[in-house]
């Protein structure tokens, strides 16, 4: 049984006091034992949020991290720095980084290796553009992103990663993939893991769905057999809606 993860991606939102307030609100909410809860604030407020999460089961994650351990890489943050601040997870290859910052599968692959070497669990994002979906390329696109980003990793390393399927056309748009559309891609990705690695990694890897997840659609998405949680953007910026999504996943975990 895969333990569901509900992860909040705050993106470039919230100032220091709003970050602290949101973290406090989530910490004070209900934390069902069967669900892992992760919050990913901006780099500059990781330390402040880390202090609030101390002693709670809510975990901390970075929104990105660089592949080199240190050196002349202006503006970059290493995986060891994230770990030092208490991060157990790091989002890698998010579509906003792929499309706004030009990240390639090669770069994401280097970051994946660095995260795993540091003991941080990477949440690898993959997802197709609207035109790619409309021209029937969804499967090819997500498979090549996954293959490129996981290159050279062993089956054991792959089993330690989390994958997030986030159709780009559903991110921040209010358009959600239907539970059936999401399930289809998740099942394809799981089959590919079995083919490229082994049955154990395919059974172990948690595949999250992301793209306009909100309290009203979470339960239905999370009820799909291959959807093991959610990566939540907009709806993670308020404690109440994030806690409602967590509660929806508990209902699923209990079923
Ligand atoms: P959204 O973002 O929930 O605001 O669509 C999800 C994400 O980009 O991770």
**Alpha-carbon torsion, ordered 50, 52, 54, 57, to 10 deg:** -100
Predicted pLDDT at 44: 98
Question: How many angstroms does the Cα of residue 17 sit away from the middle of ligand 1?
Answer: 22
Output the pTM of the full model: 0.97
pLDDT value of position 250: 80
User: For residues 24-43, b (16+ Cβ closer than 10 Å) or e, as one string?
Assistant: eebbebebbeebbbbbbbbb
Please give the pLDDT value at position 209.
98
Ligand 1 pocket test: pick from 14, 169, 211 the residue with the most ligand atoms within 8 Å of its Cβ. 211
Residues with CB under 6 A from ligand 1: 9, 166, 171-172, 210-213, 231-235
Contact 32, 148 (CB under 8 A): no
Q: Top-level CATH class of 5-254?
A: alpha beta
- Residue written as tokens 């003991």? 119
Write the DSSP symbol of residue 78: B
Q: Tens digits of per-residue pLDDT, 86-143?
A: 999 999 999 999 999 999 999 999 999 999 999 999 999 999 999 999 999 999 999 9
d(CA 230, CA 222): 8
For residue 35, give every residue at least 6 positions away whose Cβ sits within 8 Å of its Cβ, in sequence order, or none.
Answer: 3, 4, 5, 6, 229, 246, 249, 250, 253
**Ligand 1 center from residue 96 Cα (angstroms):** 10
Question: For position 253, what pLDDT does the model report?
Answer: 57
Where is 231: in which H helix or E strand? strand 229-232
Three-state DSSP at 163 gives strand
**What is the rounded end-to-end Cα distance, in angstroms, of the chain?**
12
What pLDDT does residue 255 have?
52
Q: Say if CB 182 and CB 226 are below 8 A apart.
A: no
pLDDT score at 251: 67
Tokens of residue 187, six digits: 């099942």
Residue 12: predicted pLDDT = 98
166 as an active site residue: the answer is: yes
Tally of residues, the chain? 255
Per-residue pLDDT of the chain (255 residues; tens, 9 = 90+): 899 999 999 999 999 999 999 999 999 999 998 999 999 999 999 999 999 999 999 999 999 999 999 999 999 999 999 999 999 999 999 999 999 999 999 999 999 999 999 999 999 999 999 999 999 999 999 999 999 999 999 999 999 999 999 999 999 998 889 999 999 999 999 999 999 999 999 999 999 999 999 999 999 999 999 999 999 999 999 999 999 999 999 866 555
Distance (angstroms) between ligand 1 centre and the Cα of 71 equals: 32
Q: What is the pLDDT of residue 1?
A: 82
**Catalytic-role residue among 94, 96, 186, 252:** 94
Question: Using N-to-C axis directions, what is the helix angle for 138-149 and 179-196, rounded to 10°?
Answer: 40
């Amino acid at each position: 049984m895969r333990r569901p993860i509900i992860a909040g991606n705050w993106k470039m939102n919230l100032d220091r006091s709003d970050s602290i307030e949101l973290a406090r609100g989530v910490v004070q909410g209900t934390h069902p034992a069967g669900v892992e809860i992760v919050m990913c604030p901006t780099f500059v407020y990781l330390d402040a949020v880390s202090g609030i999460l101390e002693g709670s089961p809510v975990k901390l994650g970075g929104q990105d991290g660089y592949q080199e351990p240190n050196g002349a890489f202006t503006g970059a943050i290493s995986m060891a720095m994230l770990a030092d601040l208490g991060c157990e997870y790091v989002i890698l290859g998010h579509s906003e980084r792929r499309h706004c910052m030009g990240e390639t599968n090669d770069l994401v692959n280097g970051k994946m290796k660095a995260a795993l070497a540091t003991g941080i669990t990477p949440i690898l994002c993959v997802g197709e553009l609207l035109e790619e979906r409309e021209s029937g390329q969804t499967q090819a696109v997500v498979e090549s992103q996954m293959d490129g980003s996981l290159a050279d990793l062993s089956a054991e390393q792959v089993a330690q990663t989390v994958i997030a399927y986030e159709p780009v056309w559903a991110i921040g748009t209010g358009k959600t993939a239907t539970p059936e559309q999401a399930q289809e891609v998740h099942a394809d990705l799981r089959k590919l893991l079995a083919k490229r690695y082994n049955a154990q990694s395919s059974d172990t890897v948690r595949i999250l769905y992301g793209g306009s997840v909100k309290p009203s659609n979470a339960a239905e998405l999370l009820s799909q057999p291959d959807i093991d949680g959610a990566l939540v953007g907009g709806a993670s910026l308020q404690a109440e809606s994030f806690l409602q999504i967590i509660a929806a996943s508990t209902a699923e975990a209990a079923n």
